[in-house]
């Protein structure tokens, strides 16, 4: 009996509901996402209209309570959605991640009742587009060095000054229209030992002093996802838009980053699977010297190594997702680990797919060149490879027994 439970356990679709969700996303990908992916990449345009359709499917607030219009799904579901969308259009998926994970989920876990009822219904329906602003022009990995400040004025409002850089969904179009909601981290003081005290603010489009500095063009990949610099110049934010306590944001910022990392690892999985699928088919269809190229050992090496790496990343991603509680966090080692492993594996698999497909692999129509370009961002955004190496080694110093778990 126990043996049955063990052998029948499906790590990637643990329940019928997960299977159905995956099927629903695949259907959306085939009908709506895939046909537009190449053109939006070429034109560097975010498909806002299609993005809003995800609201009708209940996906924009996937982890949010039904009370606010969300779907109350779990971390495995988040992984399924990011994997499936990314198998077709990683850039669109990145925008989805910034909205659903970094903004809506963050608000759902950490916001007050008033903040949740005010913003979550719009974020879940797609009426409001959200972004998360942490990085700055001079501070990325060194996030605690951030220079954006928030100070209380004599009227009891917060006055925010500073620039945020590389913000996904920071601008929603080509005209510099800002995101409707910014989940903003700013410095509100320093502790006695000189460590920054970070607070979170919800900044709304239309608030005085908040604007888009520039939409960033000419990125290597993720071109169909808008990336922008945001400017806060004496931006006035009312006291009710402070999230939690003053200076109390470091923990929730770090915890949301854990979720971001598992979602970015899931995106890597989608890229890897699609690249493997494309190279495997091509190796059967393409002949050289009178034989399908899959008969050649060097091509076999590309396919077989990619398959083995893909299965290893799949197991690590889903096993880590299974352990993550959206409310509490605390899985630093493996959320760093899974992103460290899966992002580079995805880039390597996309690279091999191009190699197997020769000249065809090098052009947009055959998809893998776009996946290869998009995959590089995953080694940088949400934490660089080097930051994962640093964090993991620190964790393993503090908790060497994790190796035996």
Ligand X SMILES: Cc1cc2nc3c(=O)[nH]c(=O)nc-3n(C[C@H](O)[C@H](O)[C@H](O)COP(=O)(O)OP(=O)(O)OC[C@H]3O[C@@H](n4cnc5c(N)ncnc54)[C@H](O)[C@@H]3O)c2cc1C
Nearer to ligand X by Cβ, of 188 and 226: the residue is 226
Nearer to ligand X by Cβ, of 132 and 181: the residue is 132
Nearer to ligand X by Cβ, of 338 and 357: the residue is 338
* Shortest Å distance, C-beta 196 to ligand X: 15
Among 58, 387, 388, 391, binds ligand X (CB under 6 A): 387
* Shortest Å distance, C-beta 138 to ligand X: 8
Among 386, 393, 394, 402, binds ligand X (CB under 6 A): 386
98 binds ligand X (CB under 6 A): yes
62 binds ligand X (CB under 6 A): no
222 binds ligand X (CB under 6 A): yes
What is the rounded distance in angstroms from the CA atom of residue 348 to the CA atom of residue 342? 10
Three-class SS of the chain = CHHHHHHHCCCCCCCHHHHHHHHHHHHHHHHHHHHHHHHHHHHCCCCHHHHHHHHHCCCCCCCCCHHHCCCCCCHHHHHHHHHHHHCCCHHHHHHHHHHHHHHHHHHHHHCCHHHHHHHHHHHHHCCCCEEEECCECCECCCHHHCCCEEEECCCCCEEEEEEEEEEECCECCCCCCECCEEEEEEEEEECCCCCEEEEEEEEECCCCCEEEEEECCCCCCCCCCCEEEEEEEEEEECHHHEECCCCCCHHHHHHHHHHHHHHHHHHHHHHHHHHHHHHHHHHHHCEECCEEHHHCHHHHHHHHHHHHHHHHHHHHHHHHHHHCCCCCCCCHHHHHHHHHHHHHHHHHHHHHHHHHHHHHHCCHHHCHHHHHHHHHHCCCCCCCHHHHHHHHHHHHHHCHHHHHC
* Shortest Å distance, C-beta 59 to ligand X: 19
Annotate each residue in 2-21 with x if it binds ligand X (CB under 6 A) or - if it does not, as one string.
--------------------
* Shortest Å distance, C-beta 19 to ligand X: 31
β-sheet bridge partners, residue 200: 185, 243
* Shortest Å distance, C-beta 222 to ligand X: 5
| Nearest-CB residue for ligand X | 140
* Shortest Å distance, C-beta 389 to ligand X: 8
270 binds ligand X (CB under 6 A): no
Nearer to ligand X by Cβ, of 61 and 381: the residue is 381
In the set 83, 136, 229, 260, the catalytic residue is: 260
243 binds ligand X (CB under 6 A): no
Nearer to ligand X by Cβ, of 133 and 283: the residue is 133
What is the rounded distance in angstroms from the CA atom of residue 176 to the CA atom of residue 239? 27
Annotate each residue in 117-146 with x if it binds ligand X (CB under 6 A) or - if it does not, as one string.
--------------xxxxx----xxx----
227 binds ligand X (CB under 6 A): yes
# of chain residues touching ligand X (CB under 6 A): 24
Residue 200 near residue 119 (C-beta atoms within 8 A): no
Among 72, 247, 390, 396, binds ligand X (CB under 6 A): 390
Task: Indicate if 260 belongs to the active site.
Answer: yes
* Shortest Å distance, C-beta 11 to ligand X: 29
Residues with active-site annotation = 260
Q: Which chain residues interact with ligand X by CB under 6 A?
A: 98, 131-135, 140-142, 166-168, 219, 222, 227, 377, 380-384, 386-387, 390
């Amino acid at each position: 009996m126990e043996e049955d439970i063990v052998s029948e356990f499906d790590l990637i679709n643990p329940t019928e509901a997960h299977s159905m969700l995956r099927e629903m996303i695949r259907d959306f990908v085939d009908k709506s996402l895939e046909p537009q992916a190449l053109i939006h990449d070429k034109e560097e345009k975010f498909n806002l209209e299609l993005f809003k359709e995800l609201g009708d499917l209940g996906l924009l607030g996937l982890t949010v309570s039904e009370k606010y219009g969300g779907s109350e799904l779990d971390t495995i579901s988040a992984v399924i959605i990011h994997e499936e969308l990314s198998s077709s259009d990683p850039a669109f998926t990145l925008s989805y991640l910034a909205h659903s994970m970094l903004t809506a989920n963050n608000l759902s876990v950490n916001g007050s009742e008033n903040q949740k009822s005010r913003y979550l219904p719009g974020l879940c329906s797609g009426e409001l587009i959200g972004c998360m602003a942490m990085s700055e022009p001079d501070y990325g990995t060194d996030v605690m060095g951030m220079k954006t400040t928030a100070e209380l004025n004599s009227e009891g409002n917060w006055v925010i000054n500073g620039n945020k850089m590389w913000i996904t969904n920071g601008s929603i179009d080509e005209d510099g229209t800002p995101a409707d909601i910014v989940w903003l981290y700013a410095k509100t003081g320093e502790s006695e030992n000189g460590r920054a005290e970070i607070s979170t603010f919800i900044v709304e489009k239309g608030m005085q002093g908040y604007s888009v500095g520039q939409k960033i063009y000419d990125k290597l990949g993720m071109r169909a996802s808008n990336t922008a610099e945001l400017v806060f110049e004496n931006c006035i934010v009312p006291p009710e838009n402070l999230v939690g306590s003053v200076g109390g944001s470091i923990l929730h910022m770090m915890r949301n980053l854990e979720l971001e990392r598992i979602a970015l690892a899931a995106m890597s999985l989608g890229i890897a699977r699609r690249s493997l699928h494309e190279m495997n088919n091509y190796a059967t269809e393409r002949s050289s010297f009178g034989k399908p190229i899959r008969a050649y050992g060097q091509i076999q090496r590309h396919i077989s190594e990619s398959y083995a790496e893909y299965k290893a990343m799949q197991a690590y991603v889903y096993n880590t997702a299974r352990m993550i509680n959206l409310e509490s966090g605390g899985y630093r080692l493996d959320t760093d680990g899974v992103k460290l492993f899966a992002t580079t594996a995805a880039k390597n698999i996309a690279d091999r797919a191009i190699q197997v497909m020769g000249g065809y692999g090098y052009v947009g129509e055959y998809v893998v060149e776009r996946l290869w370009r998009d995959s590089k961002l995953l080694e940088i955004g949400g934490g660089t490879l080097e930051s994962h190496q640093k964090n993991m080694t620190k964790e393993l110093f503090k908790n060497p027994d994790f190796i035996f778990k």
